[in-house]
Structure 1
Amino acid sequence: MLNLFTGLPGNGKTLYTLWYVKKWIEKENAERAKEGKELREIFYHGISNLMLPWTKIDPQKWMDCPPGSVIVIDEAQFVFEKKPNGSKLPAFYEQLAVHRHKGFDIVLITQNPSLVDNFVRKLVGKHLHIVRTFGMERAVVHEWMSVRESPERPSNRRDSIQHKWGYPKEVYAYYKSAEQHTVKRNIPMKVWGFGLVLIILACLVYYIYGSIQKKIHPDKALPAGAVAQQQVQGGVAHASYKNAVEDAHQFLFDRTPRVNGLPQTAPRYDEITKPTTAPYPASCVSNPKKCTCYTQQATPINVPEILCRDIVARGYFLDFDDKAGERNQMGKGSFAASDEIAKHSKEKPSYQLNEPLSKDVLSRGGFGEIDGDGYGVLATHTGGTQAIKSKL
């Protein structure tokens, strides 16, 4: 294939070509060596003080190289210069049309495609144009499958296949080039302006975000002393005209229950509704069909049936002080079934106690008065009485 590498002076076209060809042929020769095939040689012209093990040739005799050779010609505009239309072309021009017959791969390096003869340009199978980025040690390589006229124009590079390439340090030692040391970094003002705009936008976003956060969480934006000064009795800060909308939202939020129907779950009451006790199965009743446990406030508690019956049979030890230790003397028995349980079962609930409980113990345990049948009636904090009865 005939490859054309172009680029303005100082853009690194020769540097890229040496890196590209070396990497390409070393990889191919490694595969050919595994297959026992003959390795490909590289011949060159026009590269000053080349340190690579390539062979220098007369560019007009490139056809005499061994079959399968790779031929690199720098400053190709001096070798394949433009000829007048209709003039007879030299043999080393015309042989380019049949270079694949001997398995040649040819790489031509020049500043612009227009500098070489039109006959040569029409034979190009791959065109790579190197554009250095603001004088820095990197470039963008534009690729086409045929010659692209005037590749120096950005509008003519829009349809290219683009590759970003950083200049490898080791490639500088491959040859001597004065161009690499004369190019100065030159970042256009519009790039600096774009960077400045990004910084301003970032600062603006940060400012807006901070302002929003201050409105959402005003206490977090003030020192602890300032917050304390704004507090009044009851823990509510003074309202002001400037934050009237936020105050209204906060007012509604503080008074909206988390659980619908239970006003005490509103955030306003968090400080006075902190737990002071924990529910536990204070009494369990069972019959052949079911077993139910109740808390110390006579409210049903979800206890697995196997555990419920185990409590009825053997009781359990409550290892924290509930300020009513006597009512936890469950032993191997249980408290008697409630009227509510009896309503749902035709079977009489079974229970047994190791010893009878006195009227005084029942009273101190929160069971209230004893009815005429000898059952204790449990008073609760939720109003009224629950007919959870204990056999005396």
Structure 2
Amino acid sequence: MAAITLITGKPRIGKTAFAVELLMFDDFYKGRKIFSNINGLLIDHHKPPEGHSWEDMHEWLKWKENIGSVVIYDEVQYLFPTRSSGSKMPENVAFLNIHGHYGIDMILITQSAKLLDVNLREVVNKHIHIAANKMGGLTRLEWNEVALNPTQQARNALSSSHKIRQEVFEYYKSAEVHTAHSHVKSRWYYVIIAMLFVLPCILGLVGFMGYKMYQGYKEKAGISAQAEEAKEPTGFKNPLDPENQKEMMPQSGIQGQNLKPEDFVPTLAEKPESKPIYNGVRQVKTFEYPVGCVDGGKSGCTCYSSQGTPLKEITKAMCKDYVKNGLPFNPYKDEQQIAQQPQTAPQTAYELEKGQVLTMGGQSPQNLMYDGYTEAGQQFAQRGGVVGSP
């Protein structure tokens, strides 16, 4: 659909540059015959035919070879100036009413729509106004009809940011390229620029102060926690203390209840201590660990605990290894407690020397016991002989 596009704006705002940009980059105008009066335009275009002028374009635009052409006219107020009401309409103005019949598209450039013929204003299909904004840039306003007061009618326009492509100035002789644009910028422009530099500093300072406050809070919380720990140094309670034994003793499931027959039935055969009635008082005080081994006699090689009980879990081969090479290191022995133990009475004639392991068969026994050990072997003295003797 053939249309008339009006481009307005103050001098040196970039109106002509925008029109040239449309010719260069808008596919709608590419490949079409162009007629233009733009000074120094390097895009392929035509002037009015010989013997004709722009004033009689209503004649030569109707020619067959010119149908579907594009007309770009700069400073169009000189071609279609305002006229008094009641005056006769010029033929070139009247042609604007039927230009679409010949597929003619027009891009007309001027400073204000008020400078144009009133009939031209009525047939404009799109009005584009370029203006400087308060941020120091350019704004493009678009209407589907002429806006005689673009500033006041901006609220009804399609608004967008406008930027001139620098390569456009190479395709025509432009006054804009030699003139510095000095648009008045709003104070908010400078405020925003300043905030771009100040805001990161403020945010950094706030973040740093927040971090310091957080660290201070953590330190105070740590001091409070340490103070609480100082009141109760450890959660350890000495299990040898009778008072602590009462607290640590598990409560029987039958405490405060009537006794039942099943409370006296051991849960393990031949283990009377496994009766449920003892659940509240039964506690492990020590554990089995080999303190001596005897090789010989009817039983072969046997290792014994500190209570003189044979350790059936230790195999004969391991027992013989202990007799030959000595007992393994005891990581459970408290050297400090052993050093503080009082000296025991002299051994009987039949009592084993400290740390001895007997080997039957007349050979001298090998000392494999821990230093300071006194209980080992005492149980054997009660029998009047050495464990393993015939």
Report the TM-score, using the length of structure 2 for normalisation: 0.52
Q: Which residue of 2 aligns with 1:196?
A: 194
Q: Which residue of 2 aligns with 1:171?
A: 168
Matched, 1:146 2:138: no
**Aligned positions of 1:27-42 closer than 5 A:** 27-28=27-28, 39-42=31-34
Check conservation: 1:59, 1:73, Cα contact below 8 A. Answer: no
Question: Per-residue displacement from partner, 1:252-290 (whole Å, max 9, x unpaired)?
Answer: 466899xxxx979xxxxxxxxxxxxxxxxxxxxxxxxxx
Q: Which residue of 1 aligns with 2:45?
A: 54
**Aligned positions of 1:1-392 closer than 5 A:** 1-24=3-26, 27-28=27-28, 39-45=31-37, 47-57=38-48, 58-63=53-58, 64-65=60-61, 66-132=66-132, 139-151=138-150, 153=151, 155-186=152-183, 188=185, 190=187, 191-217=189-215, 248-252=220-224, 355-356=317-318, 358=322, 361=327, 364=330, 366=332
RMSD: 3.5
- Which of 1 and 2 has greater Rg? 2
User: Structure 1, unaligned stretches of length 5 or more?
Assistant: 31-38, 219-244, 265-350, 369-392
Q: What SS does the aligned partner of 1:86 have?
A: coil
Q: CA deviation at 1:188?
A: 2.6
CA gap of 1:95–1:122, structure 2 versus 1, over 3 A, is: same
Question: Per-residue displacement from partner, 1:322-345 (whole Å, max 9, x unpaired)?
Answer: xxxxxxxxxxxxxxxxxxxxxxxx
CA gap of 1:51–1:249, structure 2 versus 1, over 3 A, is: same
Q: What SS does the aligned partner of 2:173 have?
A: coil
CA–CA distance in structure 2, aligned partners of residues 4 and 29 of structure 1: 16
Question: Per-residue displacement from partner, 1:206-265 (whole Å, max 9, x unpaired)?
Answer: 2222222222236xxxxxxxxxxxxxxxxxxxxxxxxxx6654343466899xxxx979x
The letter for the 1-side match of 2:36 is Y
CA gap of 1:247–1:170, structure 2 versus 1, over 3 A, is: closer
CA–CA distance in structure 2, aligned partners of residues 61 and 101 of structure 1: 17
Aligned residues: 238
Check conservation: 2:134, 2:186, Cα contact below 8 A. Answer: no
CA–CA distance in structure 1, aligned partners of residues 175 and 135 of structure 2: 15
Check conservation: 2:135, 2:185, Cα contact below 8 A. Answer: no
Check conservation: 1:135, 1:186, Cα contact below 8 A. Answer: no
Check conservation: 1:135, 1:183, Cα contact below 8 A. Answer: no
Q: CA deviation at 1:363?
A: 6.9
The letter for the 1-side match of 2:111 is Q
CA–CA distance in structure 2, aligned partners of residues 15 and 256 of structure 1: 79
CA–CA distance in structure 2, aligned partners of residues 108 and 44 of structure 1: 10
Check conservation: 1:76, 1:108, Cα contact below 8 A. Answer: yes
Report the TM-score, using the length of structure 1 for normalisation: 0.52
Question: Per-residue displacement from partner, 1:10-50 (whole Å, max 9, x unpaired)?
Answer: 100001111112322xx3477xxxxxxxx4201013x2222
CA gap of 1:254–1:175, structure 2 versus 1, over 3 A, is: farther
Q: What SS does the aligned partner of 2:145 have?
A: coil
CA gap of 1:256–1:196, structure 2 versus 1, over 3 A, is: farther
CA–CA distance in structure 2, aligned partners of residues 183 and 162 of structure 1: 25
Q: CA deviation at 1:83?
A: 1.7
User: Structure 2, unaligned stretches of length 5 or more?
Assistant: 237-312, 335-390
CA gap of 1:363–1:167, structure 2 versus 1, over 3 A, is: same
The letter for the 2-side match of 1:249 is A
Check conservation: 2:133, 2:185, Cα contact below 8 A. Answer: no
CA–CA distance in structure 1, aligned partners of residues 200 and 7 of structure 2: 41
CA–CA distance in structure 2, aligned partners of residues 127 and 251 of structure 1: 74
Check conservation: 2:132, 2:183, Cα contact below 8 A. Answer: no
The letter for the 2-side match of 1:199 is F
Check conservation: 1:135, 1:185, Cα contact below 8 A. Answer: no
CA–CA distance in structure 2, aligned partners of residues 354 and 126 of structure 1: 111
Check conservation: 2:22, 2:29, Cα contact below 8 A. Answer: no
Percent identity over the alignment? 25
CA–CA distance in structure 2, aligned partners of residues 188 and 29 of structure 1: 35
